[in-house]
C-alpha cells in the first residue's frame, strides 16, 4: 500500500472517496463534487449506519460512507477498524485506489487520525489470492490511498506506519502460503534478503552446527523432517556498542503433525501457521532496520518440521538441552517449547541478550482461555510487562497477562529428568508452556507471548479477513521504538 497527500480537495468522477460520519459532522464541508452528500447528507440520514456503505455515482465520485460508532465514544481503535472495513468494501467493488477526507474529531490530532486510518486501510486492504486463477472473481488488492486537502506535515509518520503495516502483510503472506513454498529452506532465503538492509547481518546454525553445540532439543524435533532443522540469527545494530540488546525469539515449526502423538485431521489442517512467531519476529526486525531505529536487536528463529517417519523422536525420550538441563518428552506435540528452549538459551548464553521476548503459537489452551481478542503475556518482570502492554494498546495488538510463579514451575518436574515438556494434567496449559521456557532463561529479562489465539483468524473480523493476521510485527516494532528499561 502506497500513501499519498494532495493539498487540493479536488476529486474526479472515477475516484472512490472515503467519508467518515459521526455525531456533529458537517456534511456541507465536503468537496463540491460530493453534491449528494452535501445536499442530502444530514446526520439523521446516516445516523443509523452500522457498516460502511458504498454509494456509486455516474456523474460524481463514488463514495464510501464510513460510520464511526462505538457506543457514545469514538476511539482510535474504532477508527482503525472502520477504515479496515471500508478498505474491504472498496476492494469488493474492484477499487485499487481510494481517497480519504480526514475527519475532524475532538481529542484527536490530525496525525493520530491519519495514522489510525493508515493502519486500517493497509491491514484491511490486504488480500491473499496467490493460489487463485486469473479469472476467479476475487477482491481487488488495495494499492494506494490519498489523503485529500492535507499538506503532509505528518507525512513521515504516516509513511513509517504504512511501512510497518506493509511488513505485517508480508508476514501474512508467509504464514498463509503452503508448506511447499514456506519451509526452513525458503524462510532462510527470505531472511538472507532481509539481512542485506543496512546495519544488518545474519548467521545460520545448520544441523551440523546444532549437533556440535549439543542443541539436542531442536535436533530431536526436526530430525524426521524433509527440511533439516536450523537456527537463523539476524542482527541489527542501530544503537551504540554499549547499548543493551533485545532478542526476539520466534517459534518456527513450518508444519506440525504433532509427531508420533499425531494430531487429528481437523487439528492439522491449518498447521502451516505454526511458524507465525518466526514470521512475526523476522518482519519485526525488518521493520526496525528499515525505520533505522537507534536500538540493537537480534531475531533468533529456530526452524523445523515436526514430521513423522522412522527418525521421529518418541514419547518417553529424554534429551539434554543446550542449557545442560535434561527434558523428559511426555508428548511430541508439545514441540514448540522444545525448540524455543534451545533458542532462548542461545540468545542468553551466546548472544548475551539483555532482553528476551519469545513469540509462539504455543498452546491451544490460549485460545480456550482468551478467544481471538488477546494474546497471552507471561513474565515475572512487571516493568517489561508494562512496556509491552503499552505497545499493545498503541498498536491494537492486544495482550493479556497471565500469572506465573514457582507453583506452576513445579508442575513440570519429572521423575526421571530435570523437567518434562508437559504437566501431568491439562490445567493451566498456557502458563505451563511459558513456565517450561522460563527454565532456560537465567539472567536476561524475559517475557513470553503466546499468539496461538491471535495469529490466525478462522473467520473474518473487523480488522482482518480470514487466516493470518500478522500479529506481533507492529507490537514488537513499537516496543523496540520505546525507551529500554
213 is catalytic: no
Q: Are 301 and 281 in contact (CB under 8 A)?
A: yes
Could you say which of 69, 157, 214, 263 is catalytic? 263
As a whole number of angstroms, the distance between CA 68 and CA 49 comes to: 9
- Distances in whole angstroms, Cα of residue 448 to Cα of each of 100, 206, 404, 480: 39, 25, 11, 16
Closest of 40, 16, 20, 17 to residue 28, by C-alpha? 40
* DSSP assignments along 107-161, one per residue: T--HHHHHHHHHHHHHHHT----TTS-TTS--PPPP-EEEEET---TTHHHHHHH
Q: Are 118 and 111 in contact (CB under 8 A)?
A: no
466 is catalytic: no
- Distances in whole angstroms, Cα of residue 181 to Cα of each of 359, 381, 435: 22, 38, 33
Closest of 81, 74, 134, 99 to residue 14, by C-alpha? 99
Residue 124 has phi, psi (to 5 degrees) of: -70, -25
Residue the block writes with cell 524455543: 340
Cell digits of residue 17: 472517496
As a whole number of angstroms, the distance between CA 389 and CA 478 comes to: 11
Q: Return all residues near 206 (Cβ < 8 A) that are at least 6 apart.
A: 228, 230
Could you say which of 99, 235, 286, 337 is catalytic? 337
Residue numbers annotated as active site: 263, 337
Amino acid at each position: 500500500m502506497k500513501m499519498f497527500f494532495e493539498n487540493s480537495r479536488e476529486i474526479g468522477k472515477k475516484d472512490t472517496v472515503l467519508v467518515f460520519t459521526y455525531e456533529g459532522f458537517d456534511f456541507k464541508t465536503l468537496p463540491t463534487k460530493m453534491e449528494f452528500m452535501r445536499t442530502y447528507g444530514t446526520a439523521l440520514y446516516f445516523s443509523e449506519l452500522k457498516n460502511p456503505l458504498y454509494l456509486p455515482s455516474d456523474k460524481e465520485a463514488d463514495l464510501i460512507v464510513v460510520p464511526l460508532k462505538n457506543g457514545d465514544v469514538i476511539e482510535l481503535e474504532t477508527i482503525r477498524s472502520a477504515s479496515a472495513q471500508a478498505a474491504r468494501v472498496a476492494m469488493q467493488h474492484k477499487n485499487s485506489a481510494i481517497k480519504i477526507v480526514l475527519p475532524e474529531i475532538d481529542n484527536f490530532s490530525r496525525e493520530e487520525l491519519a495514522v489510525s486510518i493508515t493502519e486500517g486501510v493497509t491491514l484491511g486492504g490486504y488480500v491473499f489470492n496467490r493460489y487463485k486463477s486469473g479469472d476467479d472473481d476475487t477482491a481487488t488488492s488495495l494499492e494506494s490511498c490519498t489523503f485529500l486537502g492535507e499538506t503532509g506535515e505528518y507525512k513521515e509518520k504516516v509513511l513509517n506506519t504504512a511501512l510497518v503495516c506493509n511488513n505485517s502483510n508480508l508476514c501474512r503472506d508467509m504464514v498463509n502460503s503452503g508448506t511447499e513454498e514456506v519451509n526452513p529452506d525458503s524462510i532462510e532465503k527470505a531472511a538472507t534478503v532481509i539481512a542485506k538492509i543496512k546495519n544488518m547481518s545474519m548467521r545460520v546454525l545448520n544441523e551440523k552446527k546444532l549437533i556440535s553445540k549439543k542443541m539436542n532439543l531442536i535436533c530431536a524435533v526436526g530430525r524426521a523432517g524433509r527440511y533439516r532443522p536450523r537456527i537463523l540469527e539476524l542482527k541489527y545494530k542501530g544503537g551504540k556498542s554499549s547499548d543493551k540488546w533485545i532478542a526476539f525469539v520466534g517459534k518456527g515449526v513450518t508444519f506440525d503433525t504433532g509427531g508420533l502423538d499425531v494430531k487429528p485431521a481437523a487439528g492439522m489442517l491449518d498447521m502451516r501457521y505454526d511458524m507465525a512467531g518466526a514470521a512475526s519476529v523476522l518482519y519485526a526486525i525488518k521493520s526496525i532496520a528499515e525505520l533505522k531505529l537507534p536500538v540493537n536487536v537480534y531475531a533468533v528463529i529456530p526452524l523445523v518440521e515436526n514430521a513423522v517417519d522412522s527418525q521421529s523422536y518418541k514419547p518417553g525420550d529424554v534429551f539434554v538441552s543446550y542449557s545442560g538441563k535434561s527434558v523428559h518428552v511426555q508428548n511430541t506435540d508439545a514441540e514448540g517449547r522444545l525448540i524455543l528452549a534451545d533458542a532462548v538459551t542461545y540468545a542468553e548464553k551466546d548472544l548475551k541478550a539483555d532482553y528476551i521476548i519469545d513469540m509462539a503459537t504455543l498452546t491451544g489452551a490460549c485460545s480456550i482461555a482468551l478467544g481471538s481478542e488477546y494474546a497471552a503475556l507471561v513474565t515475572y518482570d512487571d516493568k517489561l510487562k508494562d512496556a509491552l502492554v503499552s505497545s499493545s494498546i498503541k498498536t491494537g495488538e492486544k495482550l493479556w497477562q497471565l500469572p506465573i510463579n514457582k507453583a506452576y514451575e513445579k508442575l513440570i518436574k519429572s521423575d526421571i529428568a530435570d523437567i518434562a515438556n508437559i504437566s501431568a494434567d491439562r490445567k493451566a496449559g498456557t502458563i505451563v508452556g511459558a513456565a517450561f521456557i522460563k527454565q532456560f532463561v537465567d539472567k536476561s529479562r524475559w517475557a513470553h507471548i503466546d499468539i496461538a489465539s491471535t495469529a490466525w483468524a478462522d473467520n473474518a473480523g473487523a480488522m482482518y479477513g480470514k487466516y493470518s493476521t500478522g500479529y506481533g510485527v507492529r507490537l514488537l516494532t513499537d516496543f523496540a521504538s520505546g525507551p529500554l528499561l
